[in-house]
């Protein structure tokens, strides 16, 4: 996306995260320290934990208290989000991180150790006053994909569905939900309202009866302002997570760096979490110790396949998708490759040509916690959802738009004719704009699909 690439969006989120960490860590609610350990505790036993709020609430807080009471030393908690925790452990500014997702394929993650220590449930939340009584997995998928926009479409009142999400591309809760619903964690979704972490998201939804977002069961446990919407007729409870009947269960991880000077001490804490005293502490916060969920490990693969089949999605192969956060950067209100978005993009391009505008169509308005959606002109990404009515034309679109130029990346099955038809241009124009002598194109080739 010229002017605002996915890479830049990731950098922006990282900068925002760094700034907000500094602000948040100065408040008692975010940066709290379990300092009850005796002053005589060895200094080398003091550890810094940073990570997502879900793992802080469900795993680390109570266990850190038990750890200190056992005489092991002090744990300093710095809850913020998954990306900040993993970055801190990788750079050596923290000894442990919490993550609601496993390692991805990045070089940074490959140098770290992700140890699953508990099971939690992803919960689709709304304000307690919202009368919605349940959603199917397909409906949740379609809401995030931008196909469903009003609560009346899913049995609720006539009001818009305001979808909230966490701005960080690597947020563990968001990443895990998208992996289950779309087959990949970096699927762009229809979430124009952004927050720095799940705690702030929960606070936002608590103020909006039309809000919807994803959190964890442990994160909202005991919060009367929020309710977890049953999914496929199953409530999110520890019992339903334990037997696998609630479909959106996930592992929570502790992340360590084997190269850290405190690697052995950090590993000792991981081991303590998996001990009997540690597991007893976990059970106090609506999470299931990982060892107690052996059946869930066996269910996981078939569960994922079943969900993808139910929602009409498939795991993508071949060309990597656009970088995480692409839709966030674009602030698109609908999924980036839905028919509505493509139609909107074409209309915006025509309007640009007619008015000969030089200004960008899309500008960020507001804070990171509440982004105003103004256009979908810069949406970019690949979608995995197959429409039953248009499966023959399903393909991965990777397009970027500036004022007068649009590009398209050739995928398997494309011909010059099908590309021209899809973008309402002539084959002859495609040849002219791309200096082609014939109709031969190559997989991965980037074509201009509008005039310079």
How many percent of the chain have pLDDT more than 90?
Answer: 41
416 or 244: whose pLDDT is higher? 244
238 or 355: whose pLDDT is higher? 238
In a domain, 246, yes or no: yes
In a domain, 393, yes or no: no
Which of 118, 220, 124, 184 minimizes the C-alpha distance to 326? 184
- Going by pLDDT thresholds of 50, 70 and 90, the confidence category of residue 354 is low
Residues 76 and 136 in one domain: no
In a domain, 365, yes or no: no
86: tokens are 């993993």
pLDDT of residue 52: 83
Per-residue pLDDT tens for 28-67? 333 344 444 333 434 446 899 998 887 887 788 888 888 8
pLDDT of residue 317: 56
H or E element that contains 406: strand 406-409
- Going by pLDDT thresholds of 50, 70 and 90, the confidence category of residue 316 is low
- Going by pLDDT thresholds of 50, 70 and 90, the confidence category of residue 315 is low
Distance CA 114, CA 251 (A): 11
Q: Average pLDDT, whole number, for the chain?
A: 74
194 SS3 class: strand
pLDDT of residue 382: 32
In a domain, 422, yes or no: yes
Residues 131 and 217 in one domain: yes
Least confident of 119-128, 165-174, 230-239, 364-373: 364-373
Residues 50 and 60 in one domain: yes
pLDDT of residue 452: 55
Per-residue pLDDT tens for 148-174? 999 999 999 999 999 999 987 678 999
Question: By the 8 A CB rule, do 39 and 197 touch?
Answer: no
Is 70 exceeded by the pLDDT of residue 253?
Answer: yes
The number of domains in the chain is 3
Rounded mean pLDDT of 290-301? Answer: 91
Question: By the 8 A CB rule, do 49 and 75 touch?
Answer: yes
Residues 269 and 228 in one domain: no
Residues 77 and 138 in one domain: no
Q: What is the CA radius of gyration of the chain?
A: 23
296: tokens are 């869930």
Which contacts (CB < 8 Å, 24+ apart) does range 269-273 have? 269/47, 269/67, 269/72, 269/75, 269/96, 270/96, 270/115, 270/117, 272/63, 272/66, 272/67, 272/70, 272/72, 273/59, 273/63, 273/117, 273/118
Is 90 exceeded by the pLDDT of residue 230?
Answer: yes
Place of tokens 């209100």: 333
Question: By the 8 A CB rule, do 261 and 89 touch?
Answer: no
pLDDT of residue 169: 63
105: tokens are 């394929």
139 or 315: whose pLDDT is higher? 139
Is 90 exceeded by the pLDDT of residue 241?
Answer: yes
Residues 274 and 418 in one domain: no
In a domain, 54, yes or no: yes
Is 70 exceeded by the pLDDT of residue 138?
Answer: yes
244 or 353: whose pLDDT is higher? 244
End-to-end, the C-alpha distance of the chain in Å comes to: 16
Residues 304 and 283 in one domain: no
Is 50 exceeded by the pLDDT of residue 321?
Answer: no
40 or 85: whose pLDDT is higher? 85
Residues 257 and 198 in one domain: no
pLDDT of residue 318: 40
Distance CA 416, CA 410 (A): 9
Is 70 exceeded by the pLDDT of residue 20?
Answer: no
Per-residue pLDDT tens for 186-204? 888 999 888 988 999 999 9
Rounded mean pLDDT of 381-390? Answer: 35
Domain boundary among 237, 272, 289: 289
The range of the structural domain enclosing residue 63 comes to 46-118+252-289
pLDDT of residue 451: 65
pTM of the predicted protein model: 0.63
Which of 297, 122, 343, 304 minimizes the C-alpha distance to 217? 122
pLDDT of residue 42: 40
Indicate which CATH number applies to the domain containing 426: 3.10.350.10
pLDDT of residue 120: 94
* Count of positions (residues) in the chain: 452
291 SS3 class: helix
In a domain, 372, yes or no: no
pLDDT of residue 175: 92
- Determine the distance from the C-alpha atom of residue 111 to the mean position of all C-alpha atoms in its chain, rounded to a whole number: 22
Which of 373, 337, 382 minimizes the C-alpha distance to 194? 373
161: tokens are 């569905």
Cβ atoms within 10 Å of 163's Cβ, excluding its own: 21
- Determine the distance from the C-alpha atom of residue 348 to the mean position of all C-alpha atoms in its chain, rounded to a whole number: 28
Residues 71 and 197 in one domain: no
Distance CA 99, CA 86 (A): 8
Is 70 exceeded by the pLDDT of residue 345?
Answer: no
In the DSSP assignment, the letter for residue 230 is P
- Going by pLDDT thresholds of 50, 70 and 90, the confidence category of residue 350 is low
Distance CA 35, CA 266 (A): 17
What is each CA distance from 178 to 105, 311, 313, in whole angstroms?
Answer: 16, 12, 11
Is 80 exceeded by the pLDDT of residue 83?
Answer: yes
Rounded mean pLDDT of 433-444? Answer: 82
In a domain, 52, yes or no: yes
Indicate which CATH number applies to the domain containing 180: 3.40.190.10
Rounded mean pLDDT of 124-148? Answer: 96
120: tokens are 């939690």
Rounded mean pLDDT of 86-92? Answer: 92
Question: By the 8 A CB rule, do 28 and 34 touch?
Answer: no
Cβ atoms within 10 Å of 399's Cβ, excluding its own: 21
pLDDT of residue 9: 41
Residues 246 and 260 in one domain: no
H or E element that contains 227: strand 226-228
Is 60 exceeded by the pLDDT of residue 115?
Answer: yes
- Going by pLDDT thresholds of 50, 70 and 90, the confidence category of residue 348 is very low
Residues 108 and 150 in one domain: no
229: tokens are 């919407």
pLDDT of residue 405: 45
Question: By the 8 A CB rule, do 101 and 82 touch?
Answer: yes
Rounded mean pLDDT of 302-325? Answer: 69
In a domain, 227, yes or no: yes
pLDDT of residue 158: 96
Rounded mean pLDDT of 92-114? Answer: 90
Distance CA 418, CA 235 (A): 46
Residues 175 and 305 in one domain: yes
């Amino acid at each position: 996306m010229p002017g605002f690439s996915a890479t830049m969006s990731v950098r922006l989120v990282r900068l925002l995260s760094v700034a907000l960490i500094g602000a948040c860590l100065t408040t008692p609610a975010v940066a709290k320290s379990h300092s009850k350990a005796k002053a005589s505790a060895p200094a080398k036993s003091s550890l810094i934990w940073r990570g997502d709020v879900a793992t802080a609430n469900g795993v680390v807080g109570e266990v850190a208290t038990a750890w200190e009471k056992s005489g092991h030393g002090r744990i300093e908690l710095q809850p913020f989000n998954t990306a900040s925790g993993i970055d801190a452990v990788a750079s050596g500014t923290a000894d442990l991180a919490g993550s609601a997702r496993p390692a991805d394929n990045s070089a940074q993650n490959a140098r770290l150790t992700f140890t699953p220590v508990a099971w939690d449930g992803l919960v689709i939340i709304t304000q307690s006053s919202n009368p919605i009584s349940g959603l199917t997995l397909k409906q949740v998928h379609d809401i995030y994909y931008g196909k469903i926009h009003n609560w009346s479409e899913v049995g609720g009142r006539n009001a818009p569905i305001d979808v909230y999400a966490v701005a960080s591309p690597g947020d563990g809760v968001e990443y895990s939900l998208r992996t289950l619903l779309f087959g990949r964690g970096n699927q762009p979704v229809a979430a124009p309202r952004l927050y720095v972490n799940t705690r702030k998201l929960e606070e936002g939804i608590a103020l909006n009866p039309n809000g919807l977002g994803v959190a964890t069961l442990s994160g909202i446990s005991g919060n009367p302002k929020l309710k977890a919407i049953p999914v496929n007729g199953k409530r999110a409870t520890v019992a339903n997570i334990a037997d696998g009947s609630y479909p959106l269960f996930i592992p929570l991880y502790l992340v360590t760096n084997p190269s850290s000077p405190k690697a052995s001490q950090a590993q000792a804490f991981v081991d303590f979490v998996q001990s009997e005293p540690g597991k007893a502490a976990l059970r106090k916060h609506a999470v299931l110790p990982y060892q107690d969920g052996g059946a869930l490990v066996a269910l996981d693969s078939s569960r994922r396949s079943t969900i993808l089949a139910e929602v009409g999605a498939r795991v993508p192969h071949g060309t990597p998708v656009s970088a995480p956060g692409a839709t966030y950067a674009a602030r698109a209100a609908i999924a980036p490759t839905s028919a509505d978005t493509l139609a909107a993009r074409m209309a915006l391009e025509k309007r640009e040509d007619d008015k000969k505008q030089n200004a960008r169509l899309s500008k960020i308005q507001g804070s990171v916690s509440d982004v105003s959606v103004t256009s979908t002109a810069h949406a970019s990404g690949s979608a995995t959802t197959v429409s039953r009515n248009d499966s023959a034309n399903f393909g991965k679109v990777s397009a970027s738009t500036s004022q007068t130029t649009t590009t398209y990346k050739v995928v398997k099955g494309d011909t010059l004719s099908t590309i021209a038809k899809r973008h309402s241009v002539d084959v002859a124009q495609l040849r002219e704009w791309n200096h082609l002598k014939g109709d031969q194109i190559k997989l991965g080739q980037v074509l201009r699909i509008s005039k310079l």
